[in-house]
Amino acid sequence: MTAFSQPDFCLPQDISPEIFLRDYWQKKPLVIRNGLPEIIGRFEPQDIIELAQNEEVSARLVKTFADDDWQVFFSPLSEKDFKKLPEKWSVLVQNMEQWSPELGRLWNKFGFIPQWQRDDIMVSYAPKGGSVGKHYDEYDVFLVQGYGRRRWQLGKWCDSSTEFKPNQPIRIFDDMGDLVIDEVMNPGDILYIPARMAHYGVAEEDCLTFSFGLRYPSLSRLIDGISKSLCQPEPDLNLTEFELPLRLTQTAQRTGKLADENIQAMKRQLLDKLAHSEAFNAVLKHAVAGALSARRYELLVSDEMSDPDEVRSSLEDDAALLSQDNNCKLLYTENPLRIYANGEWLDELNTIETEVLKRLSDGESLDWAFLTDLVNETEDSETAMMLLLDSICNWLDDGWVLIE
C-alpha cells in the first residue's frame, strides 16, 4: 500500500526542519531566496483589487497621506473606495485559502510547523512606496513575495511596553532600533519574521506579498474551550463540590467578608484536583483540539453536492490525488486517536475513514491504488469502498478535501 508523501519544504538545502526549529523559530529571522517559486504568476495586482471588493471578503484599505496621516477602511469595500487614491496606499485581504485552493496547498511547504498553529494566508498589494508602516505582530509569519519587489527592514524586539504613535488607526511606531535585515525580496523569495520583531516593508514597485501567519491560541480561547467541555465532563471527573476538610481559615472573620485566604484555599484545591486528574486530562485534550482546529473565519461552501460515481471516476484517473483542502483545519490526537475538523470532533468515523483523514492531515496525497488497498483489507471491500466514497463526497461538500 503506497501513498504520495508531502511535498518538499521551502527551507534552504543546508537548513533542515530540525535546524530551523532549533536556531531560527521564534529566535531570529531568515531570508530564503527562491524558496517558493510555485507562487510566481498565480496572481496579479488587479486580481487582488477585484477580490477585495467581494462583499464576503475580509479586507482593509490603508491610505497614507502627507503629515503622517493614515486612514483605514474595512470591508465591504467597493469600486468607489479605489477611486482618487493617494500616491501611497495598500489593500490587504485575509483568508486567501478560502478563495484559492491552489494557494492553500502551498501551506504544505511549511509542513515542518504543525498545522494547528496556522492562522491564515493574507495578501498585501501596494503600488510603489506603499506600506502599512513600522510595526510588529503577535504571531510568526513567512512573507512570500508573489509579484514585484518589496524592501523589508527588520529591527528590534518589541513587547507590550512598546509605544505606538498616538491618534493613529493602525499600530505603528518610528523607532525600529538597530536594523538586523535590510533586503529587497523578489518574486518567490521568503522572509521569516519571528513574533514581536519590528519590521517595515515598502513596495519598490507594484507588488503582492503573501503572509503565511502562524500563532498560538490565546489563553482565553483555551479556557473557553475547557469551560464548554466541562459542561459535559468525563464520568470520573467530579467538580461538583470541594473535598473536606477545606480549611479555608483558622481565624474568625466578619460574617460578610470573603477573605483572600479563603479564595486562595479554594484555588489550591481546584488546581491540585485538576493537576492529578486523568479524567481532566482527557477533557483538556478534547477542549484544546477543538479550539485549535477551529477556523477564525466563517467557512464558505458550495451548494453543489458531490456524486459518488463521479468522484470514483475522477480518482480512478492515474493522475488524480485526494488531498486536504488547506482551507480546512484538520488535526488528530492520539491515545485515543481522534480526528478534528474545523473545531468539530468527528466521532462517527470508521477505521478506514480515520486512517484516510489522518494521512491527509499530515500532508499526504492519496491515490486510488492506496484507497483500494486500504478497503481490500476489510471483509466486504465493495461495501467499504461505497461507504468511503460517500464520506469523501461529504468531505468535498464540507470543504475538507480536494481531488487534484
CA neighbor of 146 nearest in space, from 179, 98, 102, 195: 102
- Give the pLDDT band (50/70/90) at residue 238: low
All structural domains of the chain, each given as residue ranges with its CATH number in brackets, are 17-214 (2.60.120.650), 219-292 (no CATH), 308-403 (no CATH)
- Look up cell 513587547; give the residue: 159
CB 107 within 8 A of CB 36: no
- Give the pLDDT band (50/70/90) at residue 200: very high
SS3 at position 402: strand
C-alpha 263 chain-centroid distance: 38
Q: Which three cell numbers stand for residue 90?
A: 495598500
pLDDT of residue 275: 82
Encode pLDDT of 268-305 as tens digits. Answer: 888 887 888 787 888 888 888 988 898 887 777 777 88
pLDDT of residue 279: 79
Encode pLDDT of 334-352 as tens digits. Answer: 989 999 999 899 999 999 9
pTM for this predicted structure: 0.88
CA neighbor of 327 nearest in space, from 296, 366, 352: 296
CA 178, CA 206: separation in Å to the nearest integer?
Answer: 28
The CA-atom distances, in angstroms, between 18 and each of 21, 65, 105, 137 are 5, 45, 22, 24
- Give the pLDDT band (50/70/90) at residue 250: low
Encode pLDDT of 7-43 as tens digits. Answer: 689 999 999 999 999 999 999 999 999 999 999 999 9
CB 400 within 8 A of CB 325: yes
CA 58, CA 54: separation in Å to the nearest integer?
Answer: 9
CB 368 within 8 A of CB 316: yes
pLDDT of residue 1: 46
Q: Where are the alpha helices (DSSP H) in 218-303?
A: 219-230, 260-275, 278-292
**Higher per-residue confidence, 347 vs 218:** 347
